[in-house]
Every structure is written in structure tokens, then in C-alpha cells.
Amino acid sequence: KGLSNYLQAGRHVMAARNSGINFSEGDIVKYVIVKGRPNESISERSLLFDIAKENNISYDPDYYINQQIIPAILQIMEVLGYSKEDILGTKNSSLKGFI
């Protein structure tokens, strides 16, 4: 779709719209989530990867760890009987439980 055809502006759409770059239908939009103010939505914190790299703007590691990595790991580890608390170390303070 063209950027103006989106009724709901997802992360990639917001990054493209805020970039000032003209995108065409079918273009790939590479973006990262950067740190922002607490009241900003994730979509508002999306930024084109190339713009972030050129301007030395860091991605938000907390977002990626808490919203991407941990949920993926939990899907695997819960099948093996481990909870989120086990994985994050809030239940088991050593790695012995994984051996």
C-alpha cells in the first residue's frame, strides 16, 4: 500500500511518514525502535534504520529485550517447564535450575 492508504499507522508506516522520504508501494521499510519519552507510543518511537545510523541514534534495548526476545524465549522454555520468573532470575537466583 501507499503510505496514505493505511488507516492504522503501524511502526513501519510511522517511521516512513516521519522520515520525509517518498516511499512507493512495495518498498521495504527498515526501522528500529529508539528510546523516547514515557508517554510516546512504540509507533511514535520508530525511526528508519538508516536515519538512526547516520545520526548515531541508539535503538531501545529494553524494548527489544522485553517485547521481542523474552516472549520468544518464554514460548520455548515454558514447554520445558520454566516460568518467566525462572528465566528472569526472580524465582531462581542461579543457573543450577537449567542444568
Q: Which residues of the chain have pLDDT under 70?
A: 1-2, 4-5, 91-99
With b for 16 or more beta-carbon neighbours within 10 A and e for fewer, the 4-31 pattern comes to: eeeeebebbbbbbbbbeeebeeeeebeb
Could you tell me the pTM of the whole model?
0.72
Residue 94 is predicted with a pLDDT of 57
Residue 61 is predicted with a pLDDT of 95
Residue 57 is predicted with a pLDDT of 94
Asked if 55 contacts 31 with a C-beta cutoff of 8 angstroms, the reply is: no
Residue 97 is predicted with a pLDDT of 56
Residue 3 is predicted with a pLDDT of 72
* 37/79 Cα distance (integer angstroms): 36
